[in-house]
Amino acid sequence: MKTAQYPVENGFSDIYLVYEALPELDLNQVDTSLDFLNKKLKAPLLINAMTGGHPDVKQVNRSLARVASQTGIAMAVGSQTAGLEDSEVRDTYKIARDENPDGILIANISAFASSDMAKEAISMIEADALQLHLNVAQELAMSEGDRKFSGALANIERIVHQSPVPVILKEVGFGLSRETVRKLCDIGVEYVDVGGKGGTDFIKIEYMRSGRDHNGKFKNIGITTACSLIEALSLEAPLNIIASGGFTGGTDVACALALGSKLVGIAGHFLEVFSDGLEQGLNERIDDIINDLRNTMLMTGAVDLPELTEKPVIITGFTAEWLLRRGVEISRYSQRK
C-alpha cells in the first residue's frame, strides 16, 4: 500500500503500458530518434534548465553540454538574468554552445523579462528556442521573492511575437493546468513544458534554504506531472508538450511519450547523478535511460516514437480520479488498439 509521503511522486506510478509478448521486432530496429526544433535528437530527452551566472558553475554547464552532445539529447541553460546584468558571467552560459555547436540548446529567462532581454538571452547562446519560466509558488516561498504577478500573459504574448525562435512556457515543479495552457494557446504559444509536481520541490527547497520549518506546507496545491500532462493533452491543441517533473527512468519516460509528450525534461535526477562532477557517470545514466526506453518500446511493440503514441496506456489511481473530477476523458488512451 502507498503511504502518503511528502513530496508526492509525479503520478507516473499510476500509468501503465500494455505488454506485447509478440512484438515481431528486433531490439536493433527500435528507433528513439526524432526531429525537434529543426534538428535531430538521438532520444527525446532534455537536460532541463539548471545553472549559469556564477564563475563556479561554468564547469557544470561545460560538462552538461558535453554530455548532451555525446548522448544526442537537448539541453537548456539556467536562468540568464545574471548574464544579462553582468557581462563577466556570460561565458558561464556561452560555454554550453561552445561545447555543443550543433546541438539543441535552449535559453532561459523569466516570463516577466522584457522582449529585449529575451532576444539578448537567445543571442547569448545562439539558442534554438527560449524557455520562459513561470514560478509563482517558488517566488512566494522566497522571503525576498516577487509578489507581483499581474501582466504576465500580455508580456508573454509580446515576447512570443517578437522572438526569433520558438518560445516554450515552462513551470518549475507545480504544473500547468488545462486552463493555463488554454490561455497560453490563445496568445500563440506553441510549446509548453508542464513542469509538474512530484520532482524538485522549490517550496521545500526555499523553506530549507532560509532555515524555516516546512512541515509539508502547501501539500494540497500543485498538479502532478502526469495530471498536468494529460490535462494539457486533453485540449487537443496544436501544441508541442514537454513533460517534466520527477522523471528518473526510461519506463516513466516511455509512458509520458506514449501519452503524447514530444520530449521529457529531467533536472533534479541528473543533478543528483552529476553531484560528483564526473561526466562519465551522467553519460552512463543517460545511456541507461535511453536503453530502458528502447526496451520498453520493444515490449509494447513500438518500432519508433510515433508508433509508441498509438499504443494503449492505462491510467489508474489518484491520476485517474483527478482527471475524472476535472472532466478529462481518459478512455481514449486505454482503447487504443
Per CB under 6 A, does 255 bind ligand FMN? Answer: no
* Residue 178 or 197 with smaller CB distance to ligand FMN: 197
Residue span binding ligand FMN (CB under 6 A) among the ranges 111-119, 122-130, 193-201, 321-329: 193-201
- Name which of 248, 252, 260, 247 is nearest 330 in CA terms: 260
Residue in 170, 178, 262, 311 binding ligand FMN, rule: CB under 6 A: 170
Smallest distance, ligand FMN to C-beta of residue 79, A: 3
Q: Residue 145 CB, nearest distance to ligand FMN (Å)?
A: 14
Which one of the spans 24-32, 82-90, 166-174, 215-223 is the region binding ligand FMN (CB under 6 A)? 166-174
C-alpha cell at 48: 532541463
Task: Determine, following the binding rule CB under 6 A, whether residue 246 of this chain makes contact with ligand FMN.
Answer: yes
- Alpha-carbon gap, residue 206 to 173, rounded angstroms: 13
Give me 181's grid cell.
495552457
Residue 199 is a binding residue for ligand FMN (CB under 6 A): yes
* Near ligand FMN in 70-99, by CB under 6 A: 78-79
Measured CA to CA in angstroms, residue 150 lies from 110, 153, 155, 156 at distances of 14, 8, 10, 12
**Residue 44 engages ligand FMN in binding (rule: CB under 6 A):** no
> Which of these segments, 42-50, 251-259, 276-284, 302-310, binds ligand FMN (CB under 6 A)?
42-50
Contacts of 81 (CB under 8 A, 6+ apart): 53, 109, 110, 113, 117
**From CA 242, how far away is CA 256, in angstroms rounded?**
9
> 523579462: which residue's cell?
113
Does 267 participate in binding ligand FMN (rule CB under 6 A)?
Answer: yes
Task: Tell me: cis bond preceding 7? Omega within 30 of 0 counts.
Answer: yes
How many residues in the shown chain lie near ligand FMN by CB under 6 A?
A: 23
Question: Which residue, 317, 306, 337, is CA-closest to 34?
Answer: 306
3-state DSSP assignment of residue 202: helix
Please choose, out of 18-26, 44-52, 227-235, 313-321, the segment that lies near ligand FMN by the rule CB under 6 A. 44-52
- Name residues whose C-beta falls within 8 Å of residue 280's C-beta, 6 or more positions apart in sequence: none
* DSSP conformation letters of 264-300: EEE-HHHHHHGGG--HHHHHHHHHHHHHHHHHHHHHH
The nearer residue to ligand FMN, 207 or 247, going by C-beta atoms, is 247
Residue 32 or 48: which CB sits closer to ligand FMN? 48
Q: Between 50 and 127, name the residue whose CB sits nearer to ligand FMN.
A: 50
Nearer to ligand FMN, 72 or 245 (CB): 245
Task: Give the one residue of 71, 131, 180, 300 binding ligand FMN; rule: CB under 6 A.
Answer: 131
Q: How far apart are CA 303 and CA 28, in angstroms?
A: 10
Candidate segments 54-62, 150-158, 265-273, 306-314, binder of ligand FMN by CB under 6 A: 265-273
- The residue within the footprint of ligand FMN, chosen from 268, 282, 293, 301 (CB under 6 A), is 268
Stretch that binds ligand FMN, among 118-126, 178-186, 245-253, 275-283 (CB under 6 A): 245-253
Nearer to ligand FMN, 89 or 298 (CB): 89
Neighbour-count burial for 62-94, b at 16+ CB within 10 Å, e otherwise:
bbbbbbbbbbbbbbbbbbbbbbbeeeebbebbb
- Residue type present at position 192: V
The answer to whether residue 264 forms part of the interface with ligand FMN (CB under 6 A) is: no
173 binds ligand FMN (CB under 6 A): yes
Q: What is the spatial distance between Cα 241 and Cα 236, in angstroms, rounded to a whole number?
A: 11
Q: Out of 83, 103, 195, 260, point to the residue binding ligand FMN (CB under 6 A).
A: 195
Residues that bind ligand FMN (CB under 6 A): 48-50, 78-79, 108, 131, 133, 170, 172-173, 195, 199-200, 244-247, 266-269, 271
